[in-house]
Structures are given as C-alpha cells and as structure tokens.
C-alpha cells in the first residue's frame, strides 16, 4: 500500500510525476475518485518500457505490497485509455473480423466508434511509404493493416 516512490527508477518517477496529475485532473472532471489503486496501476504502467498486455500487468500486481486485483487493473486501464495516457495497440474485439481477398484488392478501414460501420479506403502512397519504412528496417512485409477510429460522416452530421 505504500507506493514508496523513492524505490522507483529515476525516469519512471519522472513520468509518474508528470502523468499522475493529468490523471487526477481527468478523474476530477469525471467526478471519479483519486485512489491508491489507480496510482499503483499508473505507476506500474510506466515501469514498462513500452508494450505490455493487461494480463501481465495484472499478474505483476497480483501480489506484493502494491497489490491490486485483476478486475481493478482492467478497469483502471480503461480509464487511462479514456484519459489518453495509454493507447491500445492491439485489441481483442469481441470477435475476429474477416473479409475475403478474392477480387478484393488490399485496402484499409475506417471504423466508426459510434455505429461500428467499416468504411474502406485505399491509398497507393501510403502503401508505398509503408514498404519503404519496412525496407529501412530490414523488415520483410507479409501484410499490413490500417485501422482508423473515429466518427463517420453520418454519425457526425445526423441526429
């Protein structure tokens, strides 16, 4: 329960010191509470260099002095995402989506947050730039996937 910040690596402490006030503001605006558990989760997030999965984080916090339950970790991560402090880079939608590729050239998708509609678009330039980035990194591309999230014209304009 202590959340003793003196034990944190320097750069982690720095990030936490900057990010925590932002989360506090967000929570206040939402009229939600500032709790120990939320601070512990936020701190643990910044302990990770980059990518992590919710479940690993939950496992790390499942024991020890800074114990936070699995459910709370998931709930807090959702809040942090809403606050813009964390980004989902690979999600598990309720289920997998497919499309057939036959007579259906590569294209990308915009997905409406509100109605869930998929809008297809394609851009040769983008495809080329991705290929370029790959060769710059010595990465052999098999396929790529672009998803843009936001609000579609209908949902934005209408009712």
* Residues near DNA, by CB under 7 A: 27, 30, 32-38, 53-55, 67-72, 74-76, 78, 92, 94-96
User: Longest Cα pair distance anywhere in the chain, in angstroms?
Assistant: 60
Among residues 115, 109, 119, which one has the least CA distance to residue 158? 115
Q: Closer to DNA at the Cβ: 43 or 76?
A: 76
Residue from 39, 41, 46, 68 touching its own copies (CB under 8 A): that is: 46
Question: What separation in angstroms does the CA of 18 have from each of 51, 71, 158?
Answer: 20, 26, 39
- d(Cα 31, Cα 109) in Å, to the nearest integer? 35
- 95-102 long-range Cβ contacts below 8 angstroms, 24+ apart: none
Q: How far is the CB of 90 from DNA (least distance, A)?
A: 9
Q: How far is the CB of 70 from DNA (least distance, A)?
A: 5
Window of 1-9, 27-35, 63-71, 141-149 that interacts with its own copies by CB under 8 A:
141-149
Q: Closer to DNA at the Cβ: 74 or 127?
A: 74
Q: Does 85 bind its own copies (CB under 8 A)?
A: yes
Q: Closer to its own copies at the Cβ: 69 or 116?
A: 116
Among residues 27, 61, 22, 30, which one has the least CA distance to residue 44? 61
């Amino acid at each position: 329960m202590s959340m003793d910040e003196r034990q944190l690596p320097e750069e982690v402490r720095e990030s936490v010191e900057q990010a925590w006030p932002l989360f506090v503001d967000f929570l206040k605006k939402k009229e939600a509470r500032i709790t120990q558990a939320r601070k512990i989760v936020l701190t643990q997030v910044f302990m990770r260099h980059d990518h992590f999965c919710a479940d690993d984080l939950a496992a790390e916090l499942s024991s020890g002095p800074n114990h936070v339950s699995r459910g709370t970790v998931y709930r807090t991560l959702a809040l942090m995402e809403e606050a813009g402090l964390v980004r989902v880079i690979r999600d598990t939608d309720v289920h997998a989506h497919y499309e057939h590729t036959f007579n259906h050239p590569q294209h990308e998708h915009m997905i409406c947050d509100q109605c869930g509609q998929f809008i297809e678009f394609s851009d040769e330039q983008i495809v080329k730039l991705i290929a370029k980035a790959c060769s710059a990194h010595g990465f052999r591309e098999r396929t790529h996937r672009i998803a843009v999230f936001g609000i579609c014209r209908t949902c934005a304009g209408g009712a």
